[in-house]
Structure 1
Amino acid sequence: MTIKKVHPLLLNMIPLVEGISKTLGSNCEVVLHDLKNPENSVIAISNGHITGREIGSPMAEKGIKALREDEYEKNLIKYKTITKDGRTLKSSTLFIKDESNEVIGCLCINVDISEFLVAQKVISELTQTIDEKEKTIDYSKNNFENVNDILYSLVREVLEEKSKPIKYLTRNDKIEVVNQLEEKGVFLIKGSVEYLAEKLCVSIYTIYNYLDEIRRFK
């Protein structure tokens, strides 16, 4: 896309992109989108290595969904994003409106907090005392609407026990996750393998290989 087609208000915001990213450091990606062209919406980006995007890249799925459902009256602040390679991002999307109150663009800030989550786990283990009790979930007290809710809850519970981003999970960590879910009967739920493969950023064949390895020694 040519820069001449961009709204003047968005053009004036381009310097902010580099300014914010330089202030917050190399773990902070800042992206400016022109929403008139969602398939090639990125008109300015700094620290694009975080998500692998560049000028001319399309808008992320969450932003497109917000536009499609007219959910841009309120900015999206501090939501969680998982990259394709398993890193955890703390993200915010700020919608930009013109003088007619029409949404014309958005400024997205994505902070890679993966290393901070690892540090958080270390600090938590160092400060934990024997008086602290493990949290347990009583599934009989949860109001699950369908079997997929149980799947999502069980997977989330097991992954949260790891206390570190997917990117930092080793092969053994992932096998342990699969083993725990196997013991909970998760793989009796239709679509569970595909869902877990997406969460662990691996292929469905990898999950099946893990299951074969686990069952072989039982």
Structure 2
Amino acid sequence: MSNPSKERQILVEQLKQVAKGLAETFAPFCEVVVHDLLHADQAIVAIHNNLSGREEGDPATELGLARIADESYPQVIANYPNQFADGRQVKSTSIGIKDSGGRYVAALCLNVDLTLFGTLQTMLGQFVSTDGTAGVKESLDPPGADGIRQRIDQFAARLATTPRALKAAERRALMSELREAGSMEVRRAMEIVALHLGVSRATVYNDAK
């Protein structure tokens, strides 16, 4: 473009749209910020899912200043450890945007508050834990179900594929092999095979014919 100022304005405006879309997708866990690097003292021109407490018109970060000073600074820095002013741990990604002359004019920054996920991880850990001291061991799986799944996995591995990627002819060969091994005598065998292959029971019945 012949007008550098106009080009910068267009780049920043388009970046704002990208930021808005990303913010709506990853709300509320990810703060998305657009920096105008040509106005370092008032660099922030858009901020979504505000987790850091910053505002539009706030100055550029140290990373932003580094890009302004050095055009060879890496354009993408992903998943680096960061920290909000109140001490919360953050995972950040910063993407520098250059104009047609190779000059950094803007940056898109993503900041994920890890404390939110730490809390969620703790809650999930508590939810999935079981009491191993209760003295009760039960399985709702029919006896022999694991053996069927193992045979299916081994069959697929010999073909260098996965159970769910088996083609019709391969499934028919598999069913023949399972029958010969006596695996189809297991209670609910058809259902077990169907679930492991990711197909309907009708398909399994058809393959078994």
Aligned partner of 2:77 in structure 1 is 76
What CA distance in whole angstroms lies between the structure 2 residues aligned with 1:115 and 1:79?
17
Equivalent residues of 2:19, 2:34 under 8 A apart: yes
What CA distance in whole angstroms lies between the structure 2 residues aligned with 1:39 and 1:20?
25
Measured after TM superposition, the shift of residue 90 of structure 1 is 1.0
* 1:42 pairs with 2:76: no
Measured after TM superposition, the shift of residue 71 of structure 1 is 5.5
Amino acid paired to 2:11:
L
For the residue of structure 1 that corresponds to 2:100, the secondary structure is: coil
What CA distance in whole angstroms lies between the structure 1 residues aligned with 2:48 and 2:116?
20
Runs of 4+ in 1 over 4 A off after TM superposition: 121-127
* 1:97 pairs with 2:120: no
User: Once structures 1 and 2 are overlaid, which stretch shifts more, 55-64 or 100-109?
Assistant: 55-64
* 1:25 pairs with 2:32: no
For the residue of structure 1 that corresponds to 2:59, the secondary structure is: coil
Equivalent residues of 2:82, 2:89 under 8 A apart: yes
What CA distance in whole angstroms lies between the structure 2 residues aligned with 1:21 and 1:37?
23
Q: Which runs of 5 or more structure 1 residues have no equivalent in the other structure? A: 128-218
Amino acid paired to 1:73:
P
Amino acid paired to 1:17:
A
- Highest CA radius of gyration, 1 or 2? 2
The CA RMSD measured in Å over matched residues stands at 3.1
What CA distance in whole angstroms lies between the structure 1 residues aligned with 2:98 and 2:8?
13
Seq. identity, %: 31
What CA distance in whole angstroms lies between the structure 2 residues aligned with 1:5 and 1:101?
12
For the residue of structure 2 that corresponds to 1:107, the secondary structure is: strand
Measured after TM superposition, the shift of residue 77 of structure 1 is 0.6
What CA distance in whole angstroms lies between the structure 2 residues aligned with 1:115 and 1:103?
32
Aligned partner of 2:12 in structure 1 is 10
Aligned partner of 1:59 in structure 2 is 60
What CA distance in whole angstroms lies between the structure 2 residues aligned with 1:71 and 1:104?
13
- Superposed CA offset, 1:43-64 (max 9, x none): 111122x111121111122332
Alignment of 1:167-186 (within 5 A): none
- Superposed CA offset, 1:21-76 (max 9, x none): 1100112111111101111001111122x111121111122332454455623311
Q: Which runs of 5 or more structure 2 residues have no equivalent in the other structure? A: 1-5, 130-209
Aligned partner of 1:206 in structure 2 is none
For the residue of structure 2 that corresponds to 1:8, the secondary structure is: helix
- Superposed CA offset, 1:62-95 (max 9, x none): 3324544556233111011111112111100000
